[in-house]
Amino acid sequence: MIKKLENVKSWIFDLDETLYRPDSKIANQVSDKITEFLMLEYGWEKDIAVDIKKKYYYEYGSTLQGLIKEGKLEDAKKFETFCHDVDISRLEQNKALDKALKKLQGKKYILTTSQSVYAEKVLDALGILNHFELIWGLEETDFIAKPDVHPYKKLITEAELDIDKTAMFEDSYVNITKAKEIGLKTVWIDNGATLESNTKYVREVDSSLIDVRTDDIVETINDIADFQNKF
């Protein structure tokens, strides 16, 4: 499986629940903040806010994208700032991940559906901020979220990446299959965090769209780096 990545020179990483485990509960905090925003901004009862949050997530890839497409939100930055004001104190420096990233040859990038400012805080808390050339959040991708292909294509174009020599690390099955669609190599971090969205979009995993499937990102990065060092 690792051999499929032998020509990769550039590595794009998703952030949330890819570079840290879902048991940190940060995604739960963001989800609760989204519900709170909808209640405060539109006066919806909690059950209505939760239903709309889920509806937009499934139909558009994110609640924010749904609000924009449905003409309900003009200030996307306001939404993002509110919803990513969360406690990340449970995150600890991941020395093993830091060491693995240091070994991995090639330039590294972050492509997230969160704010880039929030992403920097998370990466700093993990102790791995220094490894990344660019950190792209929703502001940099015109507030268009994955799984739309626009964020992938814009980063590839502006960073002048060779698509045939670029791989994506991502925990969302739906998002990783979109990366494969446009020609990227794919590393799916199958950590159980996105099973609900997976079952919403697909009945079963299409293994032809996944170059490497793993539940341990550190081990996989080390395996890739060890393979690189053989040549």
- The whole-number pLDDT of residue 195 equals 46
Number of other CB atoms surrounding residue 95 within 10 Å: 12
Q: CA 223 to CA 193: how far, in whole Å? A: 23
CA angle 198, 94, 86 (to 5 degrees): 60
- The whole-number pLDDT of residue 105 equals 96
List the structure tokens of 215: 């539940």
Residue 130 carries which side chain, given as an amino acid letter?
Answer: N
Q: CA 173 to CA 5: how far, in whole Å? A: 18
List the structure tokens of 83: 């919803």
**In 61-172, alpha helices (H):** 63-69, 76-83, 95-103, 116-126, 150-158
Residues of the chain with pLDDT under 70: 192-203, 231
- The whole-number pLDDT of residue 230 equals 80
